Amino acid sequence: MTACYEQHFDAVFQAVGTVLGGADRETVVHEVFFRLLSDEALRRNFDDAGSFAAWLRVVAKNHAIDHVRRRRREILLPNMRQTAEGAEEPENGFENQAHLHLTLERFQREVLPPKWERVFVARFVEHQDQPTAARALGMGRTTLAYQEHRIRRLLRSFVLKGERG
């Protein structure tokens, strides 16, 4: 696997780069290699008669496209807006901020696993960007991004459940 990573990293990085940039690009590149390592069904999709490098570039680009589609479907917390840079921040207004604060507090108390609390506080409460939060927490940015992704999924379910019930 090490040789595969070293030999094909640049091709995967370029393929993903046609769709994504920045931290998302890095995350997807690592996800592609993780899937290659952990998903036997994916490996079986490769036809030995073809070029492994070409197949891997297609897998990488498709994974990047899927990543973009998932991001588009993400919902914002109630009373949240997106900045021009794509970050989420509370809208102005005391009531909106109070509601957001109470929602996050309840989520943290009732749903959030303790092992992800530090990432939650850094990213969702203190609004640190990923590189700053990763340095402050002493973890890799991709580890932080993975935990943040899992927290967002839990938070989305929590918010949607609250809207329905």
Indicate which CATH number applies to the domain containing 147: 1.10.10.10
User: In 112-121, which positions are buried (b, 16+ CB within 10 angstroms) versus exposed (e)?
Assistant: beeebebbbb
Digits of tens for pLDDT over the chain (165 positions)?
788 888 999 999 999 999 988 888 888 999 999 988 888 888 888 877 788 889 999 999 999 998 888 777 654 444 455 555 555 554 555 666 677 778 888 898 999 999 999 999 998 888 888 888 899 999 998 899 899 999 999 988 888 887 555
Q: Tell me, what's the pLDDT at 42?
A: 86
Domain that holds residue 69: 2-73
Q: What is the pLDDT of residue 89?
A: 52
Domain limit, last residue, from 22, 40, 73: 73
CATH number assigned to the domain comprising residue 8: 1.10.1740
pLDDT at 163: 58
Token pair recorded at residue 153 = 């999924």
**Residue that finishes a domain, picked among 73, 105, 120:** 73
pLDDT at residue 151, rounded to an integer: 93
Tokens representing 19 are 């769709």
The tokens describing 155, both together, are: 């938070």
Give the chain's length: 165
What confidence score (pLDDT) does residue 119 get?
94
pTM above 0.75, yes or no: no
Task: Catalogue the E-assigned strands of 32-146.
Answer: 80-82, 88-90
Count up the domains in the chain and report the number. 2
The 8-class DSSP code of residue 111 comes to: T
- Do 96 and 69 have their domain in common? no
Domain boundary among 10, 42, 73: 73
